[in-house]
Amino acid sequence: MKADKNSKEKPKSNKIAVGIALGVGVGLAIGSSMGNVGAGLAVGIAIGIAFGVSMQKKEEANKKAE
């Protein structure tokens, strides 16, 4: 959904993508400390997806409450 210039609605943001981006950074740090970057990235992406889904559900709940 595109927001018009006159519309007061914000464009919908994708919190899962933000979570994955943060998770990749965390996973890279975990992987390099373990000596296995691939496993660290997998763990980081999983953590990022979980974090992103929770942020998105929280945002949707706040919108419903308004």
DSSP annotation of 33: H
Q: With the C-alpha atoms ordered 24, 28, 34, 37, is the resulting torsion angle positive or negative?
A: positive
Categorize the per-residue pLDDT at 41 as very low, low, confident or very high, splitting at 50, 70 and 90: very high
Domain extent listing, the chain: 15-65
| CB contact set of 23 (below 8 Å; sequence gap of 6+) | 44, 45, 46, 47, 48, 49, 51, 52
The pLDDT of residue 7 is 62
pLDDT (tens digit, 9 = 90+) per residue, 16-38? 999 999 999 999 999 999 999 99
What pLDDT does 5 receive? Answer: 63
Q: Tell which wins on pLDDT, 44 or 14.
A: 44
Contacts of 39 (CB under 8 A, 6+ apart): 31
Whether the per-residue pLDDT at 6 is higher than 80: the answer is no
